[in-house]
Amino acid sequence: MHQQIHQQIAENLLDNYQGQEPLANYLKKYFSANKKHGSRDRKSISAFCYAHFRDGEIVFPLVQNISTEINVKQFVASHQEQPLLFIRVRPWQREKVIPKLIAAQITYQEITPTTFAFVNTTSLQNVLELNKEVVIQDINSQALASLLALVPTSMDQVLNVWDACAASGGKSILMFDYLSNIKIHVTDIRESILHNCEKRLAEAGIRPSSVQVVDLVYPFEIKKQFDFIFADVPCSGSGTWGRTPEQLKYFKQEQLANYTELQGKIIENLIPALKLHGHLLFATCSVYQNENENNVAKLLATGKFKVVKQQYFKGYDKQADTLFGALLEKIAD
């Protein structure tokens, strides 16, 4: 009986949903306005809504733009399954984390000694100290550390690093945990996001050297060049649509064009901020060649960069996101 009622509510919600905002935000507003729904009701109604976009044949938008590095058939099919929840166990925290999970009787899969996977609906905030002990972070966001490992560091010299599109701060925490002797500078275009980022970094025990609102679309004053820039640029997010399957229906060609134009402007403005022989890590959570290989080609065409390593971090066989990362060295000013 409850299931039928929940399904009907979900159908009514979807009748009025036109993709104008993320489905998660749309549902959050509805539940805020309708307090009668308890936790189980909210989960059930949400599940029906998301299943609407996952069930049946998946038609992926702009499939012709997907990189040839991606197994399109496997990738598209993976959207019928909800991705897992992943955590990264921070250095020296493993011996605290495992007993807490066992005590709380939470089922998990140990992928590596520092990467654990859970059913997506698992609640951890009352069990583990988020950001201090663990970071909620997709397995392939964690895998970007393999590119960080190629960045030269020294205990004799501080590395000035810039998290250029910081968002919630997960990349800053990753850099702090994997790069030696660094000063982190954090920027984003959104002041509210930066406020949350700074709070999260404080929970992680990280005090950035600076936190600043910067719109990278426009040229900006550079007081001192950086040794390393991490640019996880705004993108279509097409490698993460397993988590936001409504995008399968509503994403359009003009949106992809807007993102690639935006990325081009950001890249152009980042180049002067990087020292000669410094490194740029360009990353997206997209599978579209326009946003990935094409942007790397533009950097190479300037004659100022060489590729150290680039790759797709494929998640469609892991119930995870698919990301792209390219580490480049600046070889000319």
Q: pLDDT value at position 56?
A: 86
Average pLDDT, the chain: 96
**What whole-number percentage of the chain has pLDDT above 70?**
100
Q: Long-range contacts: 114-117, Cβ < 8 Å, 24+?
A: 114/88, 114/89, 114/142, 115/86, 115/87, 115/88, 115/89, 115/139, 115/142, 116/86, 116/87, 116/89, 117/84, 117/85, 117/86, 117/319
Spatial neighbors of 144 by CB under 8 A, at least 6 apart, are 171, 174, 281, 283, 313, 323, 325
- For 86-95, what is each residue's pLDDT tens digit? 999 999 999 9
Query: Residues 251-285: pLDDT tens digits?
Result: 999 999 999 999 999 999 999 999 999 999 999 99
Q: How far apart are CA 15 and CA 89, in angstroms?
A: 41
pLDDT at 142: 98
- At 19-46, the pLDDT tens digits run 999 999 999 999 999 999 998 999 999 9
Topology of the domain covering 85-137: Alpha-Beta Plaits (3.30.70)
HSE-up (13 A, CA, CB side) for residue 204: 27
Average pLDDT of span 37-57: 92
Average pLDDT score over residue span 319-330? 98
pLDDT at 308 over 70: yes
How much is the average pLDDT of 139-159? 95
pLDDT in tens, 183-210: 999 999 999 999 999 999 999 999 999 9
For residue 222, the model assigns a pLDDT of 82
Q: Is the pLDDT at 1 greater than 70, yes or no?
A: no
Per-residue pLDDT at 291 exceeds 70: yes
CB atoms near residue 258 (< 10 Å): 13
Residue 204 is predicted with a pLDDT of: 97
Give residue 178's pLDDT.
Answer: 96
Superfamily for domain range 140-330: Vaccinia Virus protein VP39 (3.40.50.150)
What are the domain boundaries of the chain? Answer: 1-55, 85-137, 140-330
152 Cβ partners below 8 Å, 6+ apart? Answer: 279
